[in-house]
Structure 1
């Protein structure tokens, strides 16, 4: 540690001063001290930098602050882009100048990397910044760079505008004014305004003086507006002239409100290129090239310099293929990425199911998933397809289309989702969704579930014959306070023959979850209620309310462990949360009906097991919680008498949560483990043997297994 600070840190500080002096102006102080003084990040003062590590980029950033806000004294609260944006920009400039396009010491990083980290493709530091910035700019959360710091909606918006978008502003300015002018701007800015107060007007004045350009359009747009930029190639015509040369006319279209001069690059067969720039102000323009040979390729914005929201339409898009590695977040700006992964599963009808999954996306949009499976025993080939318009966490609206045949059931689904909230990561979110779903039972051998009842494996049907078509709407909101959280949802489903199904029904359901938690554990409450209002043709089994678990319609779409019998051991008493969620009734699958109301409560306490925690639990299972739970509900059965059942249980459980390190074995295990072992020791209505009438004990050692929280 001492060597890293005294040798490596000091050398990086020396290089930082040399870089800043050459690029902007001579460092005016007699010394610089870089010290290990913080647990995270860094803090700067004239001649003193206190950092949490000797990271080269961190040293460049904090030493840069001695220039940007220290020597060039802007108001950091009013115009954070002039200090945070400028030093973030100059840090990236230095790192690319020293390490090339990667923007970091790629060779050193790979030496420290695991096998999996070396295999995963990566983007450059600049691409990572641009990706995140464009995601923010294309969302409804985008705010202007010039806003006072305290006026941003949340800390993320401040960070995006002060650091990320604020730094990319200087890259675009460089592109607009050119290399020579930009270098002069940097030096003139420092020379003229060092040890003085600076602001936007003074910086803009220097830029316009040196470049000889009117830059009002640039600063007004990028500092005070929230533009998005998108240009596309339009019609391209090529004609051979009388002298044997070629004239190529390229039409460029502006699709968004943002304006930037945009370049067009024409490539010739001998490898040479021609480059022309259009001012981009009109909605459409034409650039004309003359060349000795017929052009081979035309690319719009070849340097990726204008912060265009999408490179689709800029020329032929590359398609890159990779194995689907865990934690793979590779989203290059100029390629559509396709990953592939072999899959294996088992159930009693198909035997071993082998398959292949292909997933494609362009920067978390235009996501396509195609899957195929083959059953060794059934000799059946299944397949499924899904298209999702986008899945970025800042997106407020998306839609999806899906369809296929999986394990004896065909399905089709179309959905729209809309999210409304003031803040990016926190605060209240209102979510609305609307979807149409069609399902059809093709092979009733798959429509059976297995249960372990008093040591004997029994089977029960879980899916009705015929077609089911319905429209489903959902609204959810998450009210919260400083120390408590909640989630409320309402669902309505309506199916009828006019939608292409064999059943007419209307199903209502609502769920409320409330919790207060801390490092010590927490108190968690859940209430659930649902009913069928119109069931003239009977309730499809897969949509009925269950006392123990979620509906089998949800099992089919969400859980391959319980989709078909034999996929998991019936002796495990597997529990998929949902419905009444009464864990003690795993051995009574007949407890399903058309009306349900239930309440669940959990008291959770984070615990450590003496000795075992160090030897086994922490290493393989992670953190652990002790859970005390109690549940009660009332259920209207779907029998001739519409029997009402009042049910209750109580017990304790253990919950383990582990995030695995970035190692090769996550290809098999996945990146996280969630294991829940619940012991519902008491039930008010234990299982009754239908042949002898003998009831099980109310108090008994019972257990269920799950791989997710109960709620």
Structure 2
């Protein structure tokens, strides 16, 4: 009876007030029940029905487990975007319900935008990574998210702000089951134009053809999550992941009326802000034939005094984002009552025609395979981004290139949007699961391979007067020429599984370099953005899920994933919740699986070890477990008669649904049962044995997975390609070269590798024809008739991590050479030790005919030496102005057994490459001390540049033919050709550098030098886009003038100064080729402090070189 009376009172009063103006402090449980009866669940309009008993998505109506709880929020925000100031002025009401068993004395808010300012934690994190930071104007002023006031019950609350976290002290504890309302006034700034700074931020503004664009994300004070694992989650924002409470958002956004806006939630006043006539004008189909990237039309004229308010209501979400642009044009599609909207800038609309349909198809695939999409719409927006927010994705690119991005960002609606895990703590549950869905969706929608962009541009932009010069240059590099078509024809493509999951994982797992997934999202090597080991949050997690599918079988896996999604939809799971969900649903002990994938960096490696033929068509097959992980094995045997036999080897008591013959289980890990042997009957005998034909087993060394067929042989087209994860690659191509003594060299190159890391082989064999031999050597037939070069290197990670061995054997251009080496790096890759045994010999005097400097090598002498080098790399940042990286090398070189020489060299060098504004400053300090009585000419220290031994490392300088003989003469004045090395006193190249007493000091055993180049290319518009760099240089140093067994005496101090230019020819093309770039250099040493006697200090001198001097 009492309930009926109360109901009648509320029905009468409903005409004078609504749920939104009821004081939450006065609402008790009975009144809430009555309100819910009056307002049945409707997520598309006010009032807030998120907590209704008839909301199938509310956590209380579908608890993941008994005793589970999470907090409820209702945000009511009224915001005006002031486009003249690039800021938001807003008032916010937050109604927060404490469903925890704890009383709360304070609360925390995230102020995400405050990460993007000086002295923030992100700023310190960047400084810790030695990264130069350029802030935008509002970021410098620390105007990002400003809290003007925060009240409850009309009383100001005490706050404590620590960068991106705000602690708010409550007047009295918020008891379990109680609700509190916060009233907040705030201003949020977009930081300034995107191009003004270099800190990657998601809330941003930029201009295109005079139109301002806004991405409004993480723009309001967002209350932190209080959960059963952490209590308050208070991670500082470092530019990556997020975590929020589910609830309701009622948001009104006021813009100048020319803006087209979309956002999270249902647009409750669509008929007013987007009437039918306006929608007809905005229809993306109207612009299908518009020339790409030409100025947009004006549909609504800008008038700052005319405003329009866009109203949105969203339930079952944990965040709210918007995007706005006057040039947005709208596409619409639908699936199962879910609207898919595409918003493309008009200038890009021609290449966004299919975006809405494609988004609808993505929603369909994931809904049918993993669980129905909860919301009424999905937005894909052309917004220079690649991020996800509830119901809206901010994207970039154009069709077909954007398809993979759309799949990935919409996949986030399942793992982030609907399953709201704490991605700041463990990003694997968010990015990794989404990466898995990216591969899944790509496979279903596109097939094995995603349709890709052509590597060349087919549509001309030259006739568009609005096209900038840089765009014209870019077009010329990528237009529809023969070379670009050639590149497009011969490059390869990863399939969807490899592209999204396996490739990045296997490439590192093959050397045991993957991290533990159960790691804080900020703690993957301390890397920023998505570099370093953080990439495995994506790739390793996705690979893990495909391997879980492999273990469970397709059907049980999909059912388990659907159950996980349904159980934790609109809730907050952690990794343990996921693994428990899978284990409990399947009834399978998978702790061994999750332990090794989540808690270790172990890797998988199974091999077909032996196949032995016995009597009566019986074969005995041995499989070996070489890695530390264990897995069940799917095995295929092909017979010589063409029959195929499938086997399954369980690794414990569970056996998945399979039509294969199930063999006895193989229980083994560590050193237990590393080999598995079984017998089977194969009529006609075995043709091949193959492990996992499905391609899902994440074997880190797959070239031993088959008895046969582990090598892929192909022609080498010289185009950079992705590595083949499953086979050793062996490539061959014709190889022609030339030098002035051999003439044209006709031969072949054969190269091979596995993953570009294991058993890397490169071999050349040439027949030296003598055709078009140099003029000076015509008639001289003493050249080598055959040349060869063999190089091999491989990883030794199984013995010593981050180590490699190498071997080289060469008979080329008159030089016999061998080298055996070992290289070891630390885990950071910044510190290295290298040791090698090397040998050089020119057996006959005729071999000197190959040399640019034939008087600087003694024939019939063996030069064998041991070289040991220690290297330390580092980065630096000074006052956020000077940044750069450097390397210090300390090396010891000494003659060894079988050498005809007696010498040793101790060398220290330090090279720094710095950036100061638009200037790039390179410096080099070099010091060498020589010891011994007999130095080989080719290994001595040369004052001007490289010694003859170093010249052998470049195919253009190892022999005559490319550098004119007149450029390599030595005399009293400077010469013409220079190659960097030695003391690098380039202004003295070709000079004997004669001292008193007619002592020539162009070569020696000891010396000290300092070199610097100041590159000012960025100050000259467009120069670098042609591959041209320009710089000022200065070199100074001294070299010894004493004989080897005399006391050390240095020559006169020498210095040169001038300016130079380099031209990297590969920059004329926009694609990566599989060869070393050719860099031409012209230096003008205008000043020498010790010129030849007939020259002045200042003179126009010119020298030509290859590559930068250092």
User: Retained in 2: the 8 A contact 1:232–1:313?
Assistant: yes
Selected match of 1:22 from 365, 368, 371? 368
**Residue 77 (str. 1) matches residue 77 (str. 2):** no
Gaps of 5+ in 1: 452-457, 688-693
Selected match of 1:388 from 764, 788, 793? 793
User: Retained in 2: the 8 A contact 1:337–1:361?
Assistant: yes
**Residue 327 (structure 1) shift:** 4.0
Selected match of 2:675 from 265, 281, 284? 284
Task: Tell me which residue corresponds to 2:954.
Answer: 559
User: Retained in 2: the 8 A contact 1:358–1:370?
Assistant: yes
Change (3 A) 1:460 1:671: closer
User: Retained in 2: the 8 A contact 1:101–1:124?
Assistant: yes
Q: How does 1:355-366 map to 2 (within 5 A)?
A: 355-364=747-756, 365-366=758-759
**Residue 381 (structure 1) shift:** 1.0
Task: Tell me which residue corresponds to 2:692.
Answer: 301
User: Retained in 1: the 8 A contact 2:872–2:888?
Assistant: yes
Give the distance between the partners of 1:649 and 1:385, measured in 2 at CA. 40
Give the distance between the partners of 1:639 and 1:192, measured in 2 at CA. 81
User: Retained in 2: the 8 A contact 1:78–1:146?
Assistant: no
User: Retained in 1: the 8 A contact 2:440–2:497?
Assistant: no
Selected match of 2:920 from 513, 516, 522? 522
Q: Which has the higher contact order (CA 8 A, sep 6+)?
A: 1
**Residue 580 (str. 1) matches residue 988 (str. 2):** no
User: Retained in 2: the 8 A contact 1:467–1:501?
Assistant: yes
Q: Deviations over 1:649-692 (max 9, x none)?
A: 2222123345446679969xx674423211112223334xxxxx
Q: Secondary structure at the match of 2:978?
A: coil
> Matched residue pairs, number?
673
Selected match of 1:176 from 530, 534, 551? 551
Give the distance between the partners of 2:454 and 2:1079, measured in 1 at CA. 34
Q: Deviations over 1:499-535 (max 9, x none)?
A: 1111122121111123421451223221211122122
**Residue 640 (structure 1) shift:** 10
Task: Tell me which residue corresponds to 1:248.
Answer: 619
Task: Tell me which residue corresponds to 1:504.
Answer: 902
User: Retained in 2: the 8 A contact 1:374–1:382?
Assistant: yes
Q: Secondary structure at the match of 1:349?
A: coil
Selected match of 1:43 from 377, 387, 395? 387
Change (3 A) 1:530 1:382: same
Selected match of 1:599 from 979, 987, 1010? 1010
User: Retained in 1: the 8 A contact 2:487–2:719?
Assistant: no
**Residue 4 (structure 1) shift:** 4.9
Q: Deviations over 1:562-590 (max 9, x none)?
A: 22234412455232111010011112255
Task: Tell me which residue corresponds to 1:455.
Answer: none
Give the distance between the partners of 1:608 and 1:199, measured in 2 at CA. 51
Task: Tell me which residue corresponds to 1:160.
Answer: 535
Change (3 A) 1:686 1:8: same
Give the distance between the partners of 1:239 and 1:88, measured in 2 at CA. 47
Q: Deviations over 1:238-278 (max 9, x none)?
A: 3344xxxx333311111121111112111124433111122
Gaps of 5+ in 2: 1-346, 459-483, 652-665, 669-673, 771-782, 878-882, 968-975, 993-999
Give the distance between the partners of 2:455 and 2:1024, measured in 1 at CA. 28
Selected match of 1:143 from 515, 528, 539? 515
User: Retained in 2: the 8 A contact 1:575–1:583?
Assistant: yes
Q: Deviations over 1:286-316 (max 9, x none)?
A: 2333344433221122223221111232221
Task: Tell me which residue corresponds to 1:368.
Answer: 761
**Residue 487 (str. 1) matches residue 891 (str. 2):** no
Selected match of 1:547 from 943, 956, 975? 943
Give the distance between the partners of 1:352 and 1:33, measured in 2 at CA. 61
**Residue 436 (structure 1) shift:** 0.4
Give the distance between the partners of 1:477 and 1:643, measured in 2 at CA. 31
Give the distance between the partners of 2:548 and 2:865, measured in 1 at CA. 54
**Residue 174 (structure 1) shift:** 0.4
Selected match of 1:12 from 350, 358, 363? 358
Change (3 A) 1:239 1:446: closer
More displaced stretch, 270-279 vs 121-130:
121-130
**Residue 50 (structure 1) shift:** 1.3
Give the distance between the partners of 2:912 and 2:1106, measured in 1 at CA. 21
**Residue 141 (structure 1) shift:** 4.2
More displaced stretch, 74-83 vs 133-142:
133-142
Q: Secondary structure at the match of 1:559?
A: coil
Give the distance between the partners of 1:679 and 1:449, measured in 2 at CA. 28
Give the distance between the partners of 1:247 and 1:704, measured in 2 at CA. 75
**Residue 91 (str. 1) matches residue 401 (str. 2):** no
**Residue 627 (str. 1) matches residue 1023 (str. 2):** no
Selected match of 1:233 from 608, 614, 630? 608
Give the distance between the partners of 1:204 and 1:643, measured in 2 at CA. 73
Task: Tell me which residue corresponds to 1:419.
Answer: 825
**Residue 656 (str. 1) matches residue 1057 (str. 2):** no
**Residue 401 (str. 1) matches residue 807 (str. 2):** yes
Q: Secondary structure at the match of 2:377?
A: coil
Change (3 A) 1:247 1:632: same
Task: Tell me which residue corresponds to 1:690.
Answer: none
**Residue 21 (structure 1) shift:** 1.1
Q: Secondary structure at the match of 1:186?
A: helix
Q: Deviations over 1:340-399 (max 9, x none)?
A: 33333333322333332211111111011111223323362111211111499x982101
Task: Tell me which residue corresponds to 1:454.
Answer: none
Give the distance between the partners of 2:1056 and 2:1070, measured in 1 at CA. 41
Give the distance between the partners of 2:946 and 2:1083, measured in 1 at CA. 17
Task: Tell me which residue corresponds to 2:727.
Answer: 335
Change (3 A) 1:700 1:355: farther
Give the distance between the partners of 1:603 and 1:6, measured in 2 at CA. 45
**Residue 133 (str. 1) matches residue 524 (str. 2):** no
User: Retained in 2: the 8 A contact 1:448–1:462?
Assistant: no
User: Retained in 2: the 8 A contact 1:530–1:597?
Assistant: yes
Give the distance between the partners of 2:860 and 2:1049, measured in 1 at CA. 24
C-alpha RMSD of matched pairs (Å): 2.9
User: Retained in 2: the 8 A contact 1:267–1:296?
Assistant: yes
Q: Secondary structure at the match of 1:460?
A: coil
Change (3 A) 1:674 1:328: same
Change (3 A) 1:379 1:546: closer
User: Retained in 2: the 8 A contact 1:446–1:564?
Assistant: no
User: Retained in 2: the 8 A contact 1:655–1:677?
Assistant: yes
Change (3 A) 1:559 1:219: same
Give the distance between the partners of 1:706 and 1:17, measured in 2 at CA. 58
More displaced stretch, 305-314 vs 329-338:
329-338
Give the distance between the partners of 1:376 and 1:638, measured in 2 at CA. 43
User: Retained in 2: the 8 A contact 1:384–1:403?
Assistant: yes
Task: Tell me which residue corresponds to 1:185.
Answer: 560
Q: Deviations over 1:618-668 (max 9, x none)?
A: 67x42432324242323325599887422222222123345446679969x
Give the distance between the partners of 2:374 and 2:863, measured in 1 at CA. 77
Change (3 A) 1:238 1:635: same
TM-score (norm 1): 0.88
Task: Tell me which residue corresponds to 1:220.
Answer: 595
**Residue 110 (structure 1) shift:** 9.6
